[in-house]
């Protein structure tokens, strides 16, 4: 019994130590930013070739500039400055002609701490006749996202929606929804990634785009651009906690660091899951995989996107493919919908922690038997003593 009690107590201690460790990571992160949303900064008319969204997330002594642009392939640029008064300047005629760098600048330039961008360059489609989910052969000509006809931004608060369709088709669309956050939290819909004030979330979905074969699967090509430290490696983080994204126990983060050290400057983070419906339940989940990042020609990427051309003079580019579906899983044709979510941010990626529900249940459930054991032990002890005195009394009698 005593051994049992000790075991329980040590387990409880373990859980609480674990919890306090987590809160060290987590509890301090109540940082808040002020958000300012601006469409096509200092442009008097609607720019030709696509819009530019600028969200300024101002902190106490730093600013995050989120720039999201549909000129060419959709691109999200994130610039971190150490001043709360830094600004973005755009020379619109140069920017739209897409042939010189320096048409978009963040001023003062010396305040820039870090910048990186993600270009959504291509959507590959392949005919998975043998149902292997290997995109090695049978690749159909890719959808070049720079050739899509993109809608105007649909803004609501700090969330903006951009949809586009292949220019030769009116059916269906590929949509990108950017959400910028002023504080920590998570979305209601799966995968419910934990975001901080230092990250934004991009949800990509295909809705009704006509597949070109009966067994189509899709692969999304991403290019990560930065000036100095490229997003060079993908870290895998195992998590015991799948309460926010049921049955997913992994997190991938594509990070940029100084010479491979553990200090992370910026990241793209996602869970290996996509969903086949817009309001998914568990059986609509489909796994996704990624290729190893490899370096790309910066000039080609700059040619794809006005934002990259305008901001970076000498872009360092890493490319990666994210493929959706697994052998034996239903094809895209079954629902004609596919959505995938990622975070883009600066600094260390957010770390999940147990929800209060889990902690409360464990604390109560482990605590109750221990308390019962202690009370019971005391009770038995007192009972024994009383009993002993009674018998002693009788014996004397």
Which positions touch other proteins (CB under 8 A)?
1, 4, 7-8, 11, 15, 18, 238, 240-249, 281-283, 328-330, 354, 357-358, 361-362, 365-366, 368-369, 372-373, 376, 379-380, 383
Both structure tokens of 62: 């730093």
Nearer to other proteins, 30 or 389 (CB): 389
Upper half-sphere CA count for residue 6 (Cβ side, 13 Å): 3
What CA–CA distance (Å, rounded) separates 32 from 158?
Answer: 14
Nearer to other proteins, 357 or 396 (CB): 357
How many residues are there in the chain? Answer: 397
Q: Which of 392, 292, 293, 347 shows the shortest CA–CA distance to 116?
A: 347
In the complex, what is the shortest distance from the CB of residue 359 to other proteins, in angstroms, rounded to a whole number?
A: 9
In the complex, what is the shortest distance from the CB of residue 325 to other proteins, in angstroms, rounded to a whole number?
A: 10
Both structure tokens of 307: 């934002």
Q: What is the DSSP letter of 318?
A: E
Nearer to other proteins, 161 or 336 (CB): 336
- Residue pair 128/212 in contact (Cβ under 8 Å)? The answer is no
Nearer to other proteins, 132 or 171 (CB): 132
Nearer to other proteins, 109 or 283 (CB): 283
Contacts of 101 (CB under 8 A, 6+ apart): 302, 309, 310, 311, 312, 313
In the complex, what is the shortest distance from the CB of residue 366 to other proteins, in angstroms, rounded to a whole number?
A: 7
String of DSSP letters for 114-130: EEEEEEEEEEEEEE-TT
Nearer to other proteins, 155 or 374 (CB): 374
Across-strand partners of 120? 222
- Residue pair 311/101 in contact (Cβ under 8 Å)? The answer is yes
In the complex, what is the shortest distance from the CB of residue 183 to other proteins, in angstroms, rounded to a whole number?
A: 24
Nearer to other proteins, 260 or 328 (CB): 328
Per-residue CA distances from 157 to 37, 93, 180, 224, 344 (Å) = 8, 28, 9, 26, 19
In the complex, what is the shortest distance from the CB of residue 276 to other proteins, in angstroms, rounded to a whole number?
A: 9
Nearer to other proteins, 252 or 354 (CB): 354
In the complex, what is the shortest distance from the CB of residue 138 to other proteins, in angstroms, rounded to a whole number?
A: 20
- The crossing angle, in degrees rounded to 10, of helices 2-26 and 356-396 is 150
Both structure tokens of 342: 């990622």
In the complex, what is the shortest distance from the CB of residue 367 to other proteins, in angstroms, rounded to a whole number?
A: 9
Across-strand partners of 83? none
In the complex, what is the shortest distance from the CB of residue 119 to other proteins, in angstroms, rounded to a whole number?
A: 32
Both structure tokens of 267: 């990241």
In the complex, what is the shortest distance from the CB of residue 381 to other proteins, in angstroms, rounded to a whole number?
A: 11
Report CA 140 to chain centroid distance, whole Å: 28
Nearer to other proteins, 192 or 233 (CB): 192
Nearer to other proteins, 152 or 358 (CB): 358
What CA–CA distance (Å, rounded) separates 57 from 36?
Answer: 7
What CA–CA distance (Å, rounded) separates 340 from 330?
Answer: 16
- Residue pair 346/80 in contact (Cβ under 8 Å)? The answer is yes
Q: Which of 21, 22, 51 shows the shortest CA–CA distance to 38?
A: 51
In the complex, what is the shortest distance from the CB of residue 251 to other proteins, in angstroms, rounded to a whole number?
A: 14
């Amino acid at each position: 019994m005593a051994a049992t009690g000790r075991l329980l107590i040590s387990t409880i201690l373990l859980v609480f130590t674990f919890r306090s460790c987590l809160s060290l990571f987590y509890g301090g992160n109540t940082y808040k930013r002020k958000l300012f949303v601006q469409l096509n900064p200092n442009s008097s008319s609607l720019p030709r070739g696509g819009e530019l969204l600028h969200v300024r997330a101002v902190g106490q002594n730093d600013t995050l500039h989120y720039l999201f642009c549909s000129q060419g392939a959709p691109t999200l640029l994130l610039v971190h400055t150490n001043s709360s008064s830094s600004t973005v300047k755009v020379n619109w005629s140069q920017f739209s002609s897409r042939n010189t760098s320096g048409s978009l600048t963040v001023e003062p330039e010396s305040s820039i701490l870090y910048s990186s961008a993600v270009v959504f360059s291509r959507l590959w489609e392949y005919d998975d006749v043998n149902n292997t989910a290997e995109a090695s052969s049978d690749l159909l000509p890719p959808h070049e996202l720079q050739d899509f006809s993109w809608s105007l931004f649909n803004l609501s608060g700090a969330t903006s929606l951009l949809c586009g369709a292949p220019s030769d088709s009116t059916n269906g669309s590929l949509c990108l929804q950017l959400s910028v956050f002023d504080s920590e939290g998570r979305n209601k819909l799966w995968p419910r990634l934990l975001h901080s004030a230092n990250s934004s979330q991009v949800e990509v979905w295909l809705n009704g785009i006509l597949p070109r074969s009966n067994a189509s699967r899709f692969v999304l090509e991403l290019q990560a651009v930065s000036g100095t430290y490229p997003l060079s490696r993908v870290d895998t983080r195992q998590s015991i906690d799948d309460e926010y994204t049921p049955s997913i126990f992994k997190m991938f983060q594509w990070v940029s660091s100084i010479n491979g050290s553990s200090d992370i400057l910026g990241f793209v983070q996602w869970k290996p899951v996509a969903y086949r419906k817009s309001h998914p339940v568990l059986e609509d989940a489909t796994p996704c995989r990624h290729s190893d990042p490899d370096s790309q020609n910066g000039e080609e990427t700059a040619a794809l996107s006005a934002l990259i051309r305008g901001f970076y003079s000498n872009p360092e580019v890493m490319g990666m493919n994210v493929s959706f579906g697994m052998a034996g899983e239903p094809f895209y044709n079954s629902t004609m919908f596919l959505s995938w979510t990622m975070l883009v941010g600066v600094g260390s990626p957010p770390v999940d922690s147990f929800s209060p529900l889990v902690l409360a249940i464990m604390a109560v459930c482990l605590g109750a038997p221990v308390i019962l054991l202690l009370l019971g032990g005391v009770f038995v002890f007192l009972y024994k003593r009383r009993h002993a005195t009674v018998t002693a009394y009788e014996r004397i009698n």
